[in-house]
Amino acid sequence: MAKAKQNSLSEQDIDHLRAELAAGRPPVVWFTSAAVGVEAGRSAKVVAFSEPAEGDFIQVRPTGEKDDLSFSPAELTVEKPAPRKRAPAKPEPAAATAGAPAAGLAPVEHIYTPAPAPAPAPPKPKPAPAPAPPATAPDRRPAARKQAKPAEVTVTLTSTAEGEWTVDVQWGAKRTLKAAPVAASAVSQAAKLLPPEVDEAVESVLSAARERHLARVEQLRAELEAAQRALAELTG
């Protein structure tokens, strides 16, 4: 009997799996006959989704293994395969009793005079057996496995009008750092190790911030001097 074809993952199935994984409940899937390197019907747990969602972007860990592998929606299903039925054992035929008479019949005795045995014919030479073909060793090479693709990392630096800097880190589908403050001096040093266009853009922001802070310092210095003169007149 032909095995029923399992349905691959639909868009609704993928959304459901993402929601379960985000809730901290790694969902279980099964491999279809289109999966490469694993047996159809075997189970696995979904551990991550790669971005963008193209090709083999679903990372799973097969049951009983420690490695994470990547597969496409066509190679996975949420439908649990039916358990395999074992073929019933065939009964062994009862051994016939040599020389036993048929049921219900009495044995018949034959009285005869034996004839002289003929002279045996000379034995014919036996043909030499054909050489056996060389045994072929079975192919024990393991099936090729798909290694999980590393998640992409995106680092974003953001500046404010006051010259303050923050950094965001996006690791695959998860944001691991959001708007963390970074010293302007550290940004300047890092920019000098990157292409000139990056250093030029960062330096322009830092220069504008220096000018604004310098003007503010001059303004505060003038206000301080005016306040000191007024204080001197009041105490003079």
Global pTM?
A: 0.38
Distance CA(162)–CA(12), nearest Å, equals 46
Which of these ranges, 49-63, 107-121, 123-137, 185-199, has the smallest mean pLDDT? 107-121
Q: What percent of the chain has pLDDT over 70?
A: 70
Which domains does the chain show, CATH number per domain? 11-77 (2.30.30), 160-235 (no CATH)
pLDDT tens for residues 143-171?
Answer: 666 676 777 888 898 999 788 999 999 98
Name which of 198, 126, 213, 116 is nearest 161 in CA terms.
Answer: 213
Tell me how far apart the 2 most distant CA atoms of the chain are, in Å.
167
Which of these ranges, 11-15, 24-28, 148-152, 192-196, has the smallest mean pLDDT? 148-152
**What is the phi/psi pair of residue 113, to 5°?**
-100, 120
- Residue 110: predicted pLDDT: 45
Q: What is the mean pLDDT of the chain?
A: 81
- Burial class of residue 160 in the structure, from the number of CB atoms within 10 Å of its CB (0-12 exposed, 13-18 middle, 19+ buried): exposed
pLDDT tens for residues 70-114?
Answer: 999 999 999 988 876 666 666 665 544 444 444 444 444 444 455
**What is the band of 23 on the pLDDT scale with cuts at 50, 70, 90?**
very high
Name which of 37, 38, 30 is nearest 5 in CA terms.
Answer: 30
Q: What is the mean pLDDT of residues 192-208?
A: 91
| Higher pLDDT pick, 137 / 209 | 209
